[in-house]
Structure 1
Amino acid sequence: MNIAVIFAGGSGVRMGAGIPKQFLEINGKPIIVHTLELFENHNEIDKIYIVMLEDYIPYMNKLVKKFALSKVCGIVKGGETGQDSIYNGLKKAQSENPDDSIVLIHDGVRPWVSYDTICNNIEGVKKNGNAITCTPCFETILMSTTGKTVETVPYRKDTYAAQAPQSFYLGEIIADHDKVRATENRYDNLVDSCTLIKSIGKEAHMVEGNRGNIKVTTPEDVYMYRALIQYRENEQAFGIGSTPDILKQK
C-alpha cells in the first residue's frame, strides 16, 4: 500500500492573500487541488490523506467532490505545529492501513513534483527504508548564526536542498514521532521529517527530485508556478521547442 499524506495546514501569512495559500486559485483550481491531482493520477498511489486547518475541512470536502479526487480517504484537522499536524495525518492513515505501507509526506503547496520523483520515493523506501527528495544547490550556501557575518561556506558540491515528498514505512515514521514527542523539547527546531529522524540518530537516504518542485509560499512563487503551467500548456499545444532543465522530470 502506497499512501500520500498531504500537509496543507498553513495560514498563508507570508503570502498576504487573506486566505491560506493552498486555496489560492491558479488556472481555475486551488493550489491544493493541483497538488492532489499529481497523486490522484499516479498509478502507484493507492490512498491520500489530507491534513489542514479545521475551519477549512468543509470547503476541502467540497473540492474533493468537485474535482473527483477519489483516492482521498480522509481529511484530518491539524495540530499546534506542522509536525503535530503531520502526526495527526499519519495516525489517521495507521488506523486504516498496515504499518508496512509506504507513506509519502508532501506539502500541499508543492504542485509541481514530477511523476518520476514520486516513483523514486517509493523505490527509495523499498531499498533503504526512507527517501528524502533533494536537488543539488546551484547557489553558494552561507552559514551564519547572526545573520550579519559569514562564518562558514560549505563546498557547493556538497550542498543540497531538501524538498518533498519525504517517504517512510508508516509504522516506522510514527514510532520515530513517538520518540520525539516523548522528549522535553518535542518538535523544537524540527522543520521536516528528515530533520526529525536525524534528531534521533537515524540515517536519511536521498533521492533526486525535479528542479521545478517549488514550494508556493510567496507571491513570486505564484508567478513562477503560473509560468511553469503556461510553458507546459504551450509545449503541449504546439509540440515544439526543447524543454528547459527546470521542467525536465528526473
Structure 2
Amino acid sequence: MNSFAIIAASGIGKRMQLKEGQSKQLLSIGGYPVIHHTIRAFQQAKSVTAIYIATKEENIPTLEEMAAKSGFTKLKAVIEGGKERQDSVYNCIKAIEGQMRTSGTAPDTILVHDGARPFIQPEEIDEIARLSMQYGACVPANRPKDTIKYIGTDPEFFGATLERSRLLQVQTPQGFSSSLLVQAHEQALLEGWYATDDAALVERFFPEQPVKIFETGYHNIKITTPEDIPVAEAIYSQITSGR
C-alpha cells in the first residue's frame, strides 16, 4: 500500500490564547512539540510513504530542522499554508501532483490530518489507509458522551434533541483515494465552496461515494484550548506507559 499524508498545521490557535509569536503546533507535550508527536505517528505507519506539511511561513525552518534531527525521512515537503485549512490542504495536493509528475507514480490513498491531533497511533493510520483503499473514503470518529441538541429558531433557546446513538464526532486522518480527493478539492475551488473537513467536500460533490466509518477511542484529541494541555499530558503519559 502506498499512502501519502497531508498534515494541516497552519492554524493560528485563536482559542489557545497564545502569546504573540507562539504556535500551538510547537507547544510542548511530554517534552516534545505537538507537531513532533503527529509527524512521528505517520513516520512509523507502515502504509505511509510520504508526508507533506502545510504550516505558517515562519514555522517552515523549525519544522524542517526538527524533521532532520528526528530522522523523519518520510517528510517530503513543508510548504506555506493558505488562508483557510482547505486552502492549506489544497497547497499540499498541488505539491503532491508535482511529485507525481516527476516520479510518474501516484499514491493509492491520501490521508489528511490535523497537525494539532498528536495522539493518533500508527496502527490506526494503517487501518484508515486500508479502509480508504477498500471503500474509497474512510473517516475516524467516536461516539459523543453528551446529549446533543439543536439550537431553536430563537438562538437563546433549544430546539430538538438529537438521537445520540446515531451521532459521531469526526476526527482525522481522513483517508480518500487520491483521485477522489483531488477532484473534490478542485471542484470546491471552482465553486468557491468551503467546508470544515475533507469528507464534507466528498459528500457534496460525490454524494454516491460511501464514507466508511472507523470508530476510535477518545485519545485522538485536537489541541484547541488551554484546558486541552493537561488532558494531552495525561494521554501522553498513559500511551508511553503502555509501550
- TM-score (normalised: structure 2): 0.90
**Which letter does structure 2 place at the counterpart of 1:12?**
G
Say if 1:196 and 1:75 are closer, same or farther in 2 by CA, change over 3 A.
same
Show the counterpart of 1:86. Answer: 89
2:182 equivalent to 1:181: no
Say if 1:180 and 1:126 are closer, same or farther in 2 by CA, change over 3 A.
same
Secondary structure of the structure 1 residue equivalent to 2:99: coil
2: CA distance, partners of 1:17 / 1:213: 22
2: CA distance, partners of 1:73 / 1:154: 43
2: CA distance, partners of 1:66 / 1:197: 37
2:202 equivalent to 1:197: yes
Show the counterpart of 1:8. Answer: 9
Runs of at least 5 residues in structure 1 that lack an aligned partner in the other structure: 237-250
User: What is the aligned counterpart of 1:142 among 124, 146, 149?
Assistant: 149
Runs of at least 5 residues in structure 2 that lack an aligned partner in the other structure: none
**Contact 2:112-2:173 at 8 Å conserved across structures:** yes
Show the counterpart of 1:24. Answer: 27
1: CA distance, partners of 2:155 / 2:140: 27
Deviation, structure 1 residue 201? 4.2
**Deviations 1:56-90 (CA, angstroms, capped at 9, x unpaired):** 11111111112111110011111121101100011
Secondary structure of the structure 2 residue equivalent to 1:14: helix
Single out whichever of 217-226 and 12-21 deviates more from structure 2: 12-21
Identical counterparts, % of pairs = 27
Deviation, structure 1 residue 6? 0.6
User: What is the aligned counterpart of 2:170 among 142, 162, 184?
Assistant: 162
Secondary structure of the structure 2 residue equivalent to 1:93: helix
CA RMSD in angstroms comes to 1.6
Show the counterpart of 1:207. Answer: 214
Say if 1:235 and 1:123 are closer, same or farther in 2 by CA, change over 3 A.
closer
Show the counterpart of 2:230. Answer: 223
Deviation, structure 1 residue 99? 4.0
Say if 1:148 and 1:171 are closer, same or farther in 2 by CA, change over 3 A.
same
Secondary structure of the structure 2 residue equivalent to 1:151: strand
How many residues were matched structurally?
233
Show the counterpart of 1:39. Answer: 42
**Contact 1:94-1:171 at 8 Å conserved across structures:** no
User: What is the aligned counterpart of 2:129 among 104, 108, 122?
Assistant: 122
